[in-house]
Amino acid sequence: MELTSLTRELVEIASHEDETAAGDRIERWLREQTDATVDRDDHGNVLARRGDGEPSLALVGHHDVVPPDDSQVDADGYVVEEHDGRLYGRGTADMKGAVAAMLCAFRDARVEDYELWFASFVGEETGGVGARAAIEDGFVPGYAIVGEGSTNYSGPGVTDVVVAHKGRRGSTIEVTGTAAHASEPEAGENAVYRAADAVDVVRELPFPETTVLGHEMRGSLAVTGIDGGTAWNVVPDSCTVTVDERTVPGERAPLERVEELPGVTVEVDQDLPPMACDDGAFADLVLRVAREVQDGRPEHVLKPHATDAGWLAAAGTSCLICGASEPGEAHTATESVSIDVLERCYELYRRSAEQFQP
């Protein structure tokens, strides 16, 4: 089958350190298989456009992957194996399989009165580097279906439609004090004690909450590390505390409250945005299509991790997520994807493009 062979071909191309070769193959396929306007931007993203009019719908993926396990590599590149109806290898689930399905759907969909885009970004696994660059260059489609995983969320064997996902804010609490000899602790200001007070504040902060299209979302907040002190007989003059927050659309935990304590400041190290679909009609359309292409009954669901959909949504794109990857598949030594589900996703992408209402 074409989709299976295209997925295998893309997965075999190493793209954890340099996405160039994978981008080359995607670009060449688009030029050979479609009459679309194809662009390879300065960042390595591959963009293609068919049709004319407003608004625009984009099928969005990424062709970078996380570093493979040793078992997923040989002298020729990445290893791809097929058995029991699944393809195994780094990137099969996250997300070259979905990229292949989107490529075929982009080519095959009948498009009238609007622009259909295909986009495959670099650097998704390193903070959305490619998506952010493309957005800065003006790529902000009206609507997007992002091919990250949505299979087996509401139940086994079902490919659902994600209407929102959490973001991630990683912060460092920097605490300063005054060093002193531990035999005279009152002569200093113990930074670890101050850090402990800051941890107590974090512990009591409310988790962020919101509702998206009738679904309640609740984030989280956790201290994940603490480091301070230089010797057993010295009152420490500095300490750091790391905090992981899973954010929800429009809400953040009030972490800045720790700065009310003496010697305490907060620095945000990473802030991957959450996503919420702001167009119920679009969400309903894609869910209706999802129910057409499978025997199970998919639902609107929530996703726990950040994706490039967050960057697009923050820029003004109405986003949904639909893809073949299942919970627990991505980034593992046994990463795999169901061939039947890839075919299902192809139909979902193609029919969604054809039924999209401009």
| pLDDT per position as a tens digit, 112-148 | 889 999 999 999 999 999 999 999 999 999 999 999 9
Consecutive 10-residue averages of pLDDT for the chain (358 residues) = 96 96 98 97 97 91 96 91 96 97 98 94 96 97 98 96 97 97 96 98 96 95 97 97 96 96 97 96 98 96 96 98 96 97 98 92
How many domains, in total, are found in the chain?
Answer: 2
How many Cα atoms occupy the beta-carbon half-sphere of 325 within 13 Å?
Answer: 27
Instruction: Supply the pLDDT for residue 113.
Output: 87
Instruction: Supply the pLDDT for residue 219.
Output: 96
Asked whether 173 and 241 are in contact (CB, 8 A), the reply is: yes
Helix-strand-coil split of the chain, %, nearest 5: 35, 30, 35
Same domain, 284 and 267: no
Catalytic residue among 124, 148, 245, 326: 124
Same domain, 327 and 207: no
Q: What is the pTM of this model?
A: 0.93
Domain boundary among 271, 299, 325: 271
Residue 191 Cα distances to 100, 230, 263, angstroms: 53, 12, 8
For residue 267, the enclosing domain spans: 167-271
275 preceded by a cis bond (ω within 30 of 0): no
Same domain, 96 and 11: yes
Same domain, 6 and 105: yes
Same domain, 11 and 147: yes
Same domain, 337 and 236: no
Instruction: Supply the pLDDT for residue 2.
Output: 95
Same domain, 84 and 155: yes
Domain boundary among 254, 271, 288: 271
Same domain, 29 and 120: yes
Q: What's the CATH code of the domain at 278?
A: 3.40.630.10
* Mean pLDDT rounded to a whole number for the chain: 96
Buried residues in 200-214 as b, exposed as e (16+ CB within 10 A): ebbeeeeebebebee
Give CA torsion, residues 42, 47, 50, 52, to 10 deg: -60
Residue 40 Cα distances to 54, 143, 288, angstroms: 23, 21, 33
Q: Annotated catalytic, 267? A: no
Q: What's the CATH code of the domain at 184?
A: 3.30.70.360
Same domain, 266 and 278: no
**What's 329's DSSP letter?**
T
Q: Annotated catalytic, 197? A: no
Domain boundary among 271, 288, 309: 271
Instruction: Supply the pLDDT for residue 304.
Output: 94
* Rounded Cα gap, residues 327 and 336, in angstroms: 11
Cα torsion angle, 330, 334, 335, 336, sign:
negative
Instruction: Supply the pLDDT for residue 313.
Output: 97
Residue type at position 156: P
Same domain, 190 and 240: yes
Instruction: Supply the pLDDT for residue 77.
Output: 84
Catalytic residue among 12, 19, 64, 308: 64
| pLDDT per position as a tens digit, 148-198 | 999 999 999 999 999 999 999 999 999 999 999 999 999 999 999 999 999
Same domain, 267 and 282: no
265 forms beta bridges with 174
Instruction: Supply the pLDDT for residue 76.
Output: 80
Same domain, 23 and 112: yes
Instruction: Supply the pLDDT for residue 54.
Output: 80
